[in-house]
Structure 1
Amino acid sequence: MTKLFGTDGIRGLANTELGCELAIAVGRATAYTLSKKNEGEKVKILIGKDTRISSDMLESALAAGISSVGADVFLLGCIPTPAVAYLIKHYGADAGVVISASHNPAEYNGIKVFDSSGIKLSVDEEYKIEKQIENGDIENYIKSHTDVGQIKTLTNAEDDYVNFLTSCMPFSLDGIKIVVDCANGAAYNSSKRIFEKLKADVIYIANNPDGLNINKNVGSTHLDYLKEMVKKERADIGIAFDGDADRCLAVDENGEEIDGDKIIGIFAKYLKEKGKLHKDSVVITIYTNLGFIDYCKKNGIKPVRTAVGDRYVLEEMIKGNYSLGGEQSGHIILKDCSTTGDGQLTALMLLMILKQSGLKASELTSDIQKYPQVMINIPADAEQKIKFNSDDQIQAFINEKESDLFDSGRVVSRVSGTEPLIRIMVEGKDKTTIKAVAEEIRDKILERI
């Protein structure tokens, strides 16, 4: 059976790999699967989108597919992914769909589906949707005449989300100068409203989306411009979101990056001191830096590792009743407030701690000493990914190279679930050594695939 869902929904080049026909099919299969679960009751599905030029097209196709099997659609407009997750529960919807390819360039787009709890669909639920599409029998459940669903627009969705975020962090940012990079994405408007409401002194960059400039040399995956602007404006801190604002990274007053590991470290220490870090533990992924592990040990915090992907982080958080988790990339989940990574919520938490501490941003992270990491991305199509996963010689070579590092380093290699890439990460105390190891592994993979 064709696999459509990756680690973060369906992702592909807009109107080729992910076109209107597939969006209609996903809409129909999602709505029909939910109607079976609801024993035939009317299904209510929210749709949000980012600023890509293809998002309007895919929104129309999804809405048509959903309504064609009798479910009602409520359009939220351009809004961050975590807003959809929150509004599902707030409005009592059965599901929510986000049209976004997150941090990917404008030519890509994607579809993420959340259940009635505001949590991304499980692998089993995604499989049911894929099976419906593959079998083609969904055509038998298309409604006719007066039985089709309605499509409505909710004009107050952003208002409700902004009010929710500012109620979670009810404090003033007066006196803090911030540069905010909106990645020309879904947070371009809500972020302005949030920071204005909290009386922050803000310089905005990359907040003029044109459908083509989302994530283009800006946002959480491209921090150079933000670093320049923070130093130029003599700001206290810089904040960067990605295209759908489920990630947040930061830059200190010196223009140095504060990545997800460091942000999680700041949050964990703060919450532990307040008695709000459940089980004194934090959920992280296999990519989390070894320096973060050392930091946890020094501060009496227990790290719990999962596979890469915020869905796996959340699964572990729910399973173990943990309150904080996240990824180096900036997906950070504050479970007492949200069911998914929320870039703007993360930013507000970081800024609150910065203001309460009276410290500089660089001082907040001064005791988190990270090991050097080298990351290499190898372009790979679906067939090459399969070869990589099934080739014993590649794995044996990687194991050999990792053993050569002894106890002073490690290797993580995997196929990306959101991009046509094989990712290699080598970490250790000596930058020259790990760079050489990473390049040797890259060459071996290229030789074998």
Structure 2
Amino acid sequence: TGTIIDTDFKQPYIEAIKKFADLDKITAAGFKFLIDSMYGSGRGVLSGIFSERGIKHVEIRSEVNPLFPGINPEPIEPHVHEAQEAVVRERCHGGLITDGDADRIGAVAEDGSFVDSHKIYSILLRWLLERKKWPGEVVRAFNTTKMIDRIAAEHGRKLHECGIGFKNICDLMLEREILIGGEESGGIGITRHLPERDGILNALLLANVMAEEKRTLAELVQDLQKKYGEHYYARLDMHIPNELKESAIARAKSGVREIGGNKVLRVETLDGVKFFLDAPKGKPGTAVPPAEAWLLLRASGTEPLLRVYSEAGSPETVQQLLKSAEAFVYQNEMAGTAAS
């Protein structure tokens, strides 16, 4: 007969991630944090570490509720709205958010603004290179900010771009000396810990960066934008019939010259169809060139869904590009309606 042994893996895990952060420094900084585990498996972990060290914090959505009431437990807008309100209401210096299974991260600045995974990845990468000085190459997924490229280049680190899905990043981590890898959805992995995503560790390290740099999240983001150029990002999920989805991708691959009046400069097809566009570059007169404008169309292989990603030098340009992409997707359908 077999034997069943009841084992608690949580405490050894907590002890492991605590070794990566300077908890004395986080305590001494005096920052107050909001922790939002979105009713997920991360509940109680970060708050337990903070309570043990007397780090000021407020915890929300930490109860067990498998229905995830009113939200999809993804650390992105609009599902982080409650955390944004709580950060401002509780006068926190930052909000740390993990998703349902705690492998992805999102954040909120002290003014209630959302800090997306691209900026979190950039903040952590810069800190690892400048403060920790750990060796290794850098990986980002095809739909992730090219600010990562600028940071890696500044520090002479080889950058790998891979297909979307953390499994592609993990493969590189197992094959090469990779320092860190990240993806658009909020999954960031540090190989010294695991060749896998860990939202709780990344939340702890984000608090560490704030403490060490003596800056709030908003200030850390401002530093990035000033040093590496203005980068803004957004995503549009289009739930459309498979026929329309496939038609849009086929047309995108057929030699598009312009989208929404913006000239196509080049096209990349590593995973989906990515257009680099001659779009407005952002604020004139800035010392560092803003983000190169791009638009990525990627069809889901399992459901009637087309995801559109965009990055540019201003939020207005990003929204304009997403609207142009939406019009492009519906172009044939609207033409057919007009003809009938």
Question: Do the structures match in fold with TM over 0.5?
Answer: yes
1:205 to 1:432, Cα distance in 2 relative to 1, 3 A: closer
Out of 315, 326, 350, the position equivalent to 2:171 is 315
Whether 1:206 aligns to 2:61 is yes
Corresponding residue for 2:187? 331
Corresponding residue for 1:443? 330
Corresponding residue for 2:338? none
- Do the aligned residues in 1 keep the contact of 2:104 with 2:188 (CA within 8 Å)? yes
C-alpha distance in 1 between matches for 2:112 and 2:101: 24
- Do the aligned residues in 2 keep the contact of 1:286 with 1:307 (CA within 8 Å)? yes
Give the match's secondary structure for 1:364: helix
Out of 157, 162, 165, the position equivalent to 2:14 is 162
C-alpha deviations, 1:64-120, integer Å up to 9, x for none? xxxxxxxxxxxxxxxxxxxxxxxxxxxxxxxxxxxxxxxxxxxxxxxxxxxxxxxxx
C-alpha distance in 2 between matches for 1:157 and 1:263: 27
Alignment of 1:11-160 (within 5 A): 150=2, 152=4, 154-160=6-12
Give the match's secondary structure for 2:197: coil
Whether 1:378 aligns to 2:238 is yes
Corresponding residue for 1:134? none
Corresponding residue for 2:271? none
1:427 to 1:355, Cα distance in 2 relative to 1, 3 A: closer
C-alpha distance in 1 between matches for 2:134 and 2:157: 9
Whether 1:177 aligns to 2:32 is yes
1:386 to 1:233, Cα distance in 2 relative to 1, 3 A: closer
C-alpha distance in 1 between matches for 2:100 and 2:8: 21
**Cα deviation, residue 246, structure 1:** 0.2
1:215 to 1:274, Cα distance in 2 relative to 1, 3 A: farther
C-alpha deviations, 1:285-337, integer Å up to 9, x for none? 11122444445545655532111111111222333311111123220101111
1:254 to 1:386, Cα distance in 2 relative to 1, 3 A: closer
1:393 to 1:386, Cα distance in 2 relative to 1, 3 A: closer
Corresponding residue for 1:228? 85
Structure 1 vs Structure 2 CA RMSD: 3.1
Whether 1:403 aligns to 2:272 is no
Q: Which runs of 5+ in 1 are unaligned?
A: 1-145
Q: Which runs of 5+ in 2 are unaligned?
A: 266-276, 280-291, 336-340
C-alpha distance in 2 between matches for 1:241 and 1:225: 13
- Do the aligned residues in 2 keep the contact of 1:183 with 1:214 (CA within 8 Å)? no
- Equivalent AA in structure 1 for residue 19 of structure 2: S
C-alpha distance in 2 between matches for 1:181 and 1:418: 30
- Do the aligned residues in 2 keep the contact of 1:379 with 1:422 (CA within 8 Å)? yes
C-alpha distance in 2 between matches for 1:207 and 1:262: 25
Corresponding residue for 1:351? 207
1:357 to 1:265, Cα distance in 2 relative to 1, 3 A: same
Give the match's secondary structure for 1:441: helix
**Cα deviation, residue 238, structure 1:** 0.3
**Cα deviation, residue 373, structure 1:** 3.5
Q: Which deviates more, 186-195 or 245-254? A: 186-195
Corresponding residue for 2:250? 392
Whether 1:282 aligns to 2:138 is yes
- Do the aligned residues in 1 keep the contact of 2:231 with 2:312 (CA within 8 Å)? yes
C-alpha distance in 2 between matches for 1:264 and 1:151: 43
The TM-score with structure 2 as length reference comes to 0.75
C-alpha deviations, 1:166-189, integer Å up to 9, x for none? 233352332221100111011113
- Equivalent AA in structure 1 for residue 58 of structure 2: I
C-alpha distance in 1 between matches for 2:222 and 2:171: 31
**Cα deviation, residue 251, structure 1:** 1.3
C-alpha deviations, 1:16-58, integer Å up to 9, x for none? xxxxxxxxxxxxxxxxxxxxxxxxxxxxxxxxxxxxxxxxxxx
Q: Which deviates more, 192-201 or 227-236? A: 192-201
Whether 1:422 aligns to 2:278 is no
Give the match's secondary structure for 1:231: helix
C-alpha distance in 2 between matches for 1:153 and 1:184: 27
The TM-score with structure 1 as length reference comes to 0.59
Whether 1:262 aligns to 2:119 is yes
- Do the aligned residues in 1 keep the contact of 2:138 with 2:157 (CA within 8 Å)? yes
- Do the aligned residues in 2 keep the contact of 1:185 with 1:214 (CA within 8 Å)? no
- Do the aligned residues in 1 keep the contact of 2:245 with 2:306 (CA within 8 Å)? no
Give the match's secondary structure for 1:413: strand
Whether 1:243 aligns to 2:115 is no
Q: Which of these two proteins has the greater Rg computed from alpha carbons?
A: 1
C-alpha distance in 2 between matches for 1:210 and 1:295: 40
- Equivalent AA in structure 2 for residue 231 of structure 1: V
1:386 to 1:257, Cα distance in 2 relative to 1, 3 A: closer
- Do the aligned residues in 1 keep the contact of 2:174 with 2:195 (CA within 8 Å)? no
C-alpha distance in 2 between matches for 1:442 and 1:373: 20
- Equivalent AA in structure 2 for residue 406 of structure 1: D
- Do the aligned residues in 1 keep the contact of 2:188 with 2:202 (CA within 8 Å)? yes
C-alpha distance in 2 between matches for 1:419 and 1:335: 32
